[in-house]
Amino acid sequence: MAKTSKQIQTEITNKIVESLKAGTIPWRKPWNTSPNCGAPTNVVSNNPYRGINPLLLELHRQEHDFSCKWYATYKQWQDLGAKVLHRPDHIKPGEFGAGVIFYAPIKKTKQDPVTGEETEVEFAMLKQYSVFNAEQVELPDHLRHLIDIEPETKNDEFCDYEPAEIAIQATKADIRFGGNKCYYSLNTDHIQMVSKHRFATEKEYYSTVLHELAHWSEKRCEWTGNYAEGELRAEIAAAFMCSELQIPQSEDLTNTQAYLASWLKSLENDPRFIFKASTAANKAADYILSFSRKTEPISV
């Protein structure tokens, strides 16, 4: 029997709750500079996965220690001339691939009980299917480049990272430097940042400024929610943007831990909470990067 939307949401939420309780933040992970690393992306469409799916696929990569961003269904890999490997004996059935979801439009005829008039209504049905990472696939020679991973670059001194600088400047947000705090002020509509040279690494700086830009986007995206929900939305949005811009993300979870209890409570009370947060984070990231985003096709 197919799972209901509520069952799928509950199972996913439980998985994320378990990850948070274990101290693993599924949207925080250092990324390499290789074009094969970054936000989980479908190898056929070259489109990043959306909504809750980036979190689910990041958990999958962490569980199996994968670095590659490329995913596809069994059939998609097969059509490309690749072959999904057999599930190892130590991995339970159903846990080798990653379960992702999509909303399929369903049409239904509805009859008015008074007039008897029939009208067609459309609603979204939550469905789930499995995808496999390129590192789980036997690739033909023409696809071997998909799993070539370059080592992560490291800088001893702060150095402006051009793709991020372009993306940040393109927003034309009012960003001011100085003081000892980083925040977004709704009253003055400006972002206050500590001077760059006070950050230990570039990844700390860029993940912070993108987090604050996510707050800057709230009123522009007409988002509403409480303080803890706003922080979760901003954290996930910053992680999405760091992934797309291929910025190694911060491993310092000091600020994240402060909201952990509130997130867990919201997740346990409402299985839809993480779906709403990730969808809102997608919208924030899309808005911020829309000022500079360029799409480049991949050859497979």
Q: In this predicted structure, what is the pLDDT of residue 235?
A: 85
- Identify the CA nearest to 128 among candidates 281, 45, 272, 9: 9
Q: In this predicted structure, what is the pLDDT of residue 19?
A: 77
- Per-residue model confidence as pLDDT tens digits over 65-90: 888 899 999 999 999 999 999 999 98
At residue 263, does pLDDT exceed 90?
no
Q: In this predicted structure, what is the pLDDT of residue 255?
A: 60
Q: In this predicted structure, what is the pLDDT of residue 272?
A: 77
Taking the chain, what is the end-to-end CA distance rounded to the nearest angstrom?
A: 36
- The token duo for 147 is 């799993």
- Per-residue model confidence as pLDDT tens digits over 97-121: 999 988 777 777 777 777 778 887 7
Average pLDDT over residues 126-147: 93
130: confidence class by pLDDT, cuts 50, 70, 90:
very high
Q: What is the reported pTM?
A: 0.65
Please, what is the average pLDDT of the chain?
A: 82
Q: What is the dihedral of CA 232, 234, 240, 246, to 10 degrees?
A: -120
CA–CA gap between residue 259 and residue 25 (Å, rounded): 12
Q: In this predicted structure, what is the pLDDT of residue 239?
A: 82
Sign of CA dihedral 197, 200, 201, 203: negative
At residue 191, does pLDDT exceed 90?
yes
Q: At what angle do helices 254-269 and 227-245 cross, to 10 degrees?
A: 120
